Amino acid sequence: MFQSLRKPERDRVTITVNGHPIEAIAGQSVWSAMALNGQTITRRAALSGEDRSAYCAMGVCFECLVEIDGLPNQQACLRRVTEGMAVTTQEITETTEATNAGL
């Protein structure tokens, strides 16, 4: 679906997305690394639980929120990949927030 226009000889790093290792080009955005490896879902909508994905890819819409190295609410379109980075689809919903708050 997505194809990179960058030359393949650039430095590569390995990150994990939902526990699966993928290769990415050093300096590319987390979102582009995910999309080029077929992972276009970034989070679940907080109220409906529907799949969400990047929309603007420039830091405006906040549709691309993921967890990076255990830290939630990271914009995948703005963060750059680094070696060993662990990215997970963000699952914060109305139900999980209530659970986390002890309600």
| Binding site residues, ligand FES, CB under 6 A | 54-57, 59-64, 75, 77
Least spacing, CB of residue 47 vs ligand FES, in Å: 19
Instruction: Name the residue nearer to ligand FES (CB basis): 91 or 98.
Output: 91
Q: Which two tokens stand for residue 102?
A: 């002890």
Instruction: Name the residue nearer to ligand FES (CB basis): 61 or 92.
Output: 61
Least spacing, CB of residue 35 vs ligand FES, in Å: 11
Instruction: Name the residue nearer to ligand FES (CB basis): 2 or 21.
Output: 2
Nearby residues of 5 by Cβ (< 8 Å), 6 or more positions away: none
Nearby residues of 103 by Cβ (< 8 Å), 6 or more positions away: none
Least spacing, CB of residue 80 vs ligand FES, in Å: 13
Q: Which two tokens stand for residue 90?
A: 């963000």
Nearby residues of 42 by Cβ (< 8 Å), 6 or more positions away: 31, 34, 52, 53, 54, 63, 64, 65, 66, 76, 89, 90
Least spacing, CB of residue 97 vs ligand FES, in Å: 21
